[in-house]
């Protein structure tokens, strides 16, 4: 349904403020209290409301939006108790929901928007929005505004719709005016709207701008600039069993049961996210729903003929992002998928990012999508990482120094400079993988011969010359809205992020393994190595470096500590088998897990079971409740492995275990 040309608050509806004070929130939900912007400051509102809190993993086991909405905000928990009970948001008769900074960080789950929309929310208010979440609001027809607009609405003012679209590119304005992406796409198909064609003149461009310019449909100039509204060709994409059911459901609803997609050979499905859910006691009650998701993905794959990376004999081929960089993503491509860590593919010098189920369904049907050209932020790396420091530490540094003050927000992160050559392709993948934790649009690494050789080894017969021609480099004089930032890798230290958010980084002292006063002496119950961020070949080599030193010194994982290592793909597992790494891990008492997602999304071995358990993990995000109810610290593979043997969070130092006694 198209929104009205003017927006006003309905007298029979309410506004919900997500306050930092849980009691105020409870009273609003109970109908005992109604607030206005006159009663609160923006600082009183929750920042970084993440999509895991809005729709935890188990809520996403339903694929119909009306079912998902019944447990909206089920992950917002205080003292072990849900603030939003079943149907609480729907019963509250709210039409506006209000929060602080960076609304919708975390996973690309469009279910978070669906949960609000199907409870009656038509306006989301925040100081800023994470880019994927903002796109999902637009695609679902949910309006967004800041707190000043809400104050005017609560004062009784009627505000023209164009104020809600001010600052949007012309195509996004059309999507909002049509009421969402599907109504817009249908209006385009019947010729009811005219698409603008930007005519940006010759200018130096960033890597992201070059890729988007190449993919623009229509009579473009060959040049683009930030803010340009484009219709662009998509080279490929993928979904997984957590998201495919919705894609299939939406396509069937919008285009009928006999729908066909544009180019099946360039798209794929993966079975990776829920492959080990039955290992988690709290997930076993949802196994029937999970099986429905798997069945619907198989149905979608048969219906469309997309490439099939399903599990065989219960074993996944690997995490979609890792396998995609191995098998699917090539330099210069534009690839979209239904997961926030799709940005990992940028390590192959491609432009890749996550989208919601609605946008993915639309683009896989048509072969194109709409894009507002984003600004970029450039990180020029120099020097070489010191011993014991990894790309994960670099990303925790960037999260603290650049993402927390919002310098990376909605921008594409470029990694260039001589320091890139000192990082392996796997370490570069860590950089691009965690762009989503920075609330960035995506990330891309400058290509070199190491990039091309890495891809060729995994795709025999790949045309290296074609890859070199397709690769992009930024032009001299390219403009960076986020600035150019030089980081000397030699100055970095091992870091750890406090529970709750990846940008709460604390540097450690690499000389003795002691942490600054902010961290103190933290005993652990679980050490977890795996996920798309830290389940690559180099990550397994990092774990093995520490484990082999410990085993040579006569050490094993101590009683009371569980150390899990999970492979990111079958290729990674095979590498470890061929190199003899598996035997060392087993001698140390490490529990090895076959490829796939797992503890990172609370659906596999390594999940905490009680609030007092402490985990140190090499995964990418540590939002409350994401990997169980315990406290989870983020760290590098080296720190995770060293901590597993010490029983407390500590940094790795060569020789730290001494000689065998």
Q: Decide if 466 is inside a domain.
A: no
pLDDT tens by residue, 442-500: 999 999 999 999 999 999 999 999 999 999 999 999 999 999 999 999 999 999 988 88
In a domain, 207, yes or no: no
267 and 354 assigned to the same domain: yes
C-alpha torsion sign, points 223, 228, 229, 233: positive
- In this prediction, residue 300 has a pLDDT band, given cuts at 50, 70 and 90, of very high
| DSSP states along 130-187 | -HHHHHHHHHHT-EEE-HHHHHHHHTT--EEHHHHHTTS-HHHHHHHHHTSHHHHHHH
**What mean pLDDT is predicted for residues 281-305?**
93
pLDDT digits (tens, 9 = 90+) for 537-567: 999 999 999 999 999 999 999 999 999 999 9
Domain boundary among 340, 372, 404: 372
Q: Give 429's contacts (C-beta < 8 A, 6+ positions apart).
A: 322, 325, 344, 347, 536
Same domain? 247 vs 147? no
Do the domain assignments include residue 140? yes
Residue 26 shares a structural domain with residue 172: yes
Q: Which domain holds residue 46?
A: 6-179
Residue 624 belongs to domain with CATH number: 3.30.499.10
pLDDT > 90: percent of the chain: 80
Q: Is the pLDDT of residue 430 over 60?
A: yes
pLDDT at 257 over 80: yes
564 in a domain, yes or no? yes
The answer to whether the CB of 569 falls within 8 A of the CB of 562 is: no
Domain match, 140 and 63 both: yes
280 plus 152 within the same structural domain: no
Please report the pLDDT score of residue 510 as a whole number: 39
Is residue 448 in a domain? Answer: no
Specify if 532 maps to a domain: yes
Last residue of a domain, one of 179, 195, 223: 179
For residue 99, give the CATH number of its domain. 3.20.19
The verdict on 244 and 352 lying in the same domain is yes
Token pair for 112: 């978070």
Q: Which of 243-252, 422-431, 514-523, 582-591 has the lowest mean pLDDT?
A: 514-523
Inter-residue contact 583 to 548 (CB < 8 Å): no
Same domain, yes or no, for 251 and 364?
yes
In a domain, 172, yes or no: yes
Residues 109 and 170 in one domain: yes
d(CA 128, CA 47): 9
Neighbours of 647 (CB within 10 A): 16
Average pLDDT, integer, range 646-661: 85
How far, in Å, are 254, 331, 470 from residue 466 at the CA level?
38, 9, 6
CA gap 587, 592 in Å, rounded: 11
Number of domains in the chain: 3
Same domain, 244 and 171: no
Residue 122, in any domain of the structure: yes
Radius of gyration over alpha carbons of the chain, in Å? 24
State whether 149 and 275 are in the same domain.
no
Residue ending a domain, choose from 348, 372, 396: 372
Q: Do 505 and 641 have their domain in common?
A: yes
Tell me, yes or no, whether 141 and 256 share the same domain.
Answer: no
């Amino acid at each position: 349904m198209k929104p009205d040309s003017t927006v006003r608050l309905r007298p029979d509806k309410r506004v919900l403020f997500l306050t930092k004070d849980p009691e105020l929130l409870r009273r609003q939900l109970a109908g005992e209290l109604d607030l206005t912007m006159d009663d609160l400051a923006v600082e009183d509102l929750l920042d970084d409301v993440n999509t895991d809190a809005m729709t935890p993993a188990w809520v996403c086991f339903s694929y119909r939006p009306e079912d998902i909405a019944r447990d909206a905000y089920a992950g917002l928990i205080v003292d072990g108790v849900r603030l939003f009970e079943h149907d609480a948001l729907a019963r509250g008769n709210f039409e506006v929901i209000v929060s602080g900074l960076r609304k919708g960080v975390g996973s690309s789950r469009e279910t978070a928007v669906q949960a609000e929309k199907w409870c009656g929310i038509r306006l989301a208010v925040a100081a800023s929005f994470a880019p994927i979440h903002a796109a999902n609001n637009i695609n679902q027809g949910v309006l967004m505004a800041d707190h000043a607009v809400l104050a005017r609405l609560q004062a009784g003012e009627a505000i023209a719709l164009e104020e809600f679209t001010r600052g949007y590119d012309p195509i996004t304005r059309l999507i909002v005016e049509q009421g969402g992406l599907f109504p817009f796409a249908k209006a385009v198909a019947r010729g009811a709207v005219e698409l603008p064609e930007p005519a940006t003149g010759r200018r130096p461009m960033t890597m992201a701008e070059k890729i988007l310019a190449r993919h623009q449909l229509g009579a473009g100039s060959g040049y683009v600039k930030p803010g340009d509204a484009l219709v662009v060709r998509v080279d490929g994409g993928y979904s997984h069993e957590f998201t495919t059911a919705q894609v299939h459901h939406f396509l069937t609803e919008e285009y009928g049961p006999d729908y066909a997609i544009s180019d099946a050979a360039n798209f794929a499905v993966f079975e990776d996210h829920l492959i080990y859910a039955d290992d988690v006691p709290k997930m076993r009650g949802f196994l029937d729903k999970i099986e429905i998701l798997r069945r619907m993905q198989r149905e979608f794959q048969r219906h469309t003929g997309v490439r099939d990376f399903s599990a065989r004999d219960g074993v996944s081929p690997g995490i979609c992002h890792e396998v995609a960089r191995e098998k699917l993503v090539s330099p210069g491509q534009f690839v979209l998928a239904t997961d926030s860590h799709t940005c990992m593919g940028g390590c192959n010098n491609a432009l890749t990012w996550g989208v919601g189920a609605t946008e993915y369904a639309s683009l896989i049907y048509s072969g194109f999508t709409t894009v507002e050209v984003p600004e970029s932020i450039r990180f020029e790396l120099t020097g070489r990482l010191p011993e014991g420091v990894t790309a994960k530490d670099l990303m925790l540094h960037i999260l603290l120094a650049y993402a927390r003050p919002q310098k990376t927000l909605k921008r594409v992160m470029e990694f260039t400079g001589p320091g890139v050559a000192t990082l392996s392709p796997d370490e570069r993948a860590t950089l691009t993988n965690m762009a989503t934790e920075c609330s960035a649009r995506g990330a891309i690494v400058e290509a070199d011969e190491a990039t091309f050789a890495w891809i060729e080894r995994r795709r025999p017969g790949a045309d290296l010359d074609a890859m070199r021609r397709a690769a992009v480099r930024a032009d001299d004089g390219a403009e960076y809205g986020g600035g150019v930032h030089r980081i000397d890798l030699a100055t970095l230290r091992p870091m750890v992020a406090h529970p709750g958010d990846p940008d709460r980084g604390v540097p450690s002292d690499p000389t003795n393994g002691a942490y600054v006063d902010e961290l103190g002496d933290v005993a652990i119950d679980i050490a977890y190595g795996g996920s798309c961020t830290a389940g690559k070949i180099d990550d397994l080599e990092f774990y093995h470096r520490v484990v082999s030193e410990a085993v040579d010194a006569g050490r094993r994982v101590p009683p009371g500590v569980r150390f899990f290592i999970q492979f990111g793909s079958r290729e990674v597992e095979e590498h470890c088998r061929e190199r003899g790494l598996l035997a060392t891990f087993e001698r140390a008492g490490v529990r090895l897990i076959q490829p796939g997602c797992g503890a990172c999304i609370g659906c596999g071995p390594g999940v905490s079971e009680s609030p007092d358990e402490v985990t140190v993990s090499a995964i990418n995000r540590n939002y409350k409740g994401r990997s169980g109810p315990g406290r989870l610290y983020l760290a590098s593979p080296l720190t995770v492995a060293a901590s597993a043997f010490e029983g407390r969070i500590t940094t790795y130092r060569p020789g730290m275990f001494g000689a065998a006694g």
